[in-house]
């Protein structure tokens, strides 16, 4: 069975105090948390949800929103939902969330609720792939020119200290991501033991030797990170 881990415990530090909680900030008539949950609840392959939160105040607001989602979506009636307080770092929250799933959940998807425009059909495609015992992430082929600043260089304007990379082999990673739950847990355990900081969930399965496949969406799936991102989110919501 497949579960979905929805991450809502981030600190939102890059909002620089302008927005209290980016996941609950209005996007049209809804917000990022509402839109993310709504999409996952339309995916029949997902039988269980774990949602991480950062503190009791946020939990209360998320659960209030969850009741509104339930009232607007009949699909959610058969979903088991568990709430888990997140950890200090992302990988800590993921580890706590994975351990909260019931034993019958053998495969898991992980999604940042800060990416509210994920579509149900994409989630379903990801679920079908991980059910084949594969590691999958949404990824977008890099379109812009990419330059590398040589480590240790203090002056980025020095042309001798930067170089162009071949963008053909570079991809921008998004969520959801997924894999067999046991692979993720083993990789996270290895990262903790070796004091490795992970900013991407699939890096955990790569640590134990499993390759990662890509699904490229054909629509925008941006992450809300800074206050300026809400203008684009509003545009997408109203499109």
Flag whether pLDDT at 10 surpasses 70: yes
- Complete DSSP assignment for 38-69: HHHTT-TTEEEEEEEESSHHHHHHHHHHHHHH
Q: Identify whether the C-beta of residue 212 lies closer than 8 Å to the C-beta of residue 202.
A: yes
The number of distinct structural domains making up the chain is: 1
Cβ-based neighbours of 10, under 8 Å, separated by 6 or more: 54, 86, 90, 112, 114
Flag whether pLDDT at 179 surpasses 60: yes
Predicted confidence at residue 156, as pLDDT, reads: 64
The closest alpha carbon to 214, from 224, 230, 194, 200, belongs to: 200
Flag whether pLDDT at 16 surpasses 70: no
pLDDT in tens, 82-131: 999 999 999 999 999 999 999 999 999 999 999 999 999 999 999 999 99
Q: Is residue 148 part of a domain?
A: no
Q: How confident is the model at residue 23 (pLDDT cuts 50, 70, 90)?
A: very high
Whole-prediction pTM: 0.92
Q: Is residue 217 part of a domain?
A: yes
Q: Is residue 73 part of a domain?
A: yes
pLDDT in tens, 71-82: 876 655 568 899
Q: The domain that contains 30 carries what CATH number? A: 3.90.550.10
Q: Identify whether the C-beta of residue 91 lies closer than 8 Å to the C-beta of residue 98.
A: no
pLDDT in tens, 27-53: 999 999 999 999 999 999 999 999 999
Total length of the chain: 239
Q: Is residue 160 part of a domain?
A: no
Q: How confident is the model at residue 162 (pLDDT cuts 50, 70, 90)?
A: confident
Q: How confident is the model at residue 137 (pLDDT cuts 50, 70, 90)?
A: very high
CA dist 8 → 89, 105, 207, 213 (Å): 12, 21, 25, 25
Q: Is residue 146 part of a domain?
A: no
Q: Is residue 158 part of a domain?
A: no
Tokens of 144: 């812009």
Residues spanned by the domain of 205: 2-137+172-238
Q: Is residue 131 part of a domain?
A: yes
Q: Is residue 150 part of a domain?
A: no
Rounded to 10 degrees, the C-alpha dihedral 104/121/97/138 comes to 120
Predicted confidence at residue 217, as pLDDT, reads: 95
What is the average pLDDT score of the chain? Answer: 91
């Amino acid at each position: 069975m497949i579960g979905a881990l929805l991450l809502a415990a981030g600190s939102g530090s890059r909002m620089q105090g302008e927005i209290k909680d980016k996941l609950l900030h209005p996007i049209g008539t809804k917000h990022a948390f509402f839109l993310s949950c709504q999409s996952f609840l339309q995916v029949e392959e997902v039988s269980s949800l774990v949602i991480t939160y950062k503190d009791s105040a946020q939990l209360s607001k998320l659960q209030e929103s969850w009741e509104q989602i339930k009232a607007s979506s009949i699909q959610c009636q058969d979903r088991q939902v568990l709430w888990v307080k997140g950890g200090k770092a992302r990988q800590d929250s993921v580890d706590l969330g994975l351990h909260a799933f019931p034993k019958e959940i053998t495969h898991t998807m992980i999604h940042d609720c800060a990416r509210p425009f994920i579509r149900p059909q994409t989630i379903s495609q990801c679920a079908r792939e991980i059910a084949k015992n594969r590691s999958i992430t949404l990824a977008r082929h890099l379109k812009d020119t990419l330059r590398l600043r040589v480590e240790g260089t203090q002056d980025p304007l020095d042309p001798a200290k930067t170089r162009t990379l071949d963008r053909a082999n570079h991809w921008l990673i998004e969520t959801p991501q997924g894999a067999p739950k046991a692979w993720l847990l083993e990789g996270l355990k290895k990262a903790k033991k070796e004091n490795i900081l992970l900013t991407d969930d699939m890096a955990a399965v790569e640590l134990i030797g499993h390759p990662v496949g890509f699904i490229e969406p054909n629509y925008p799936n941006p992450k809300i990170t800074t206050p300026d991102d809400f203008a684009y989110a509003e545009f997408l919501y109203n499109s």
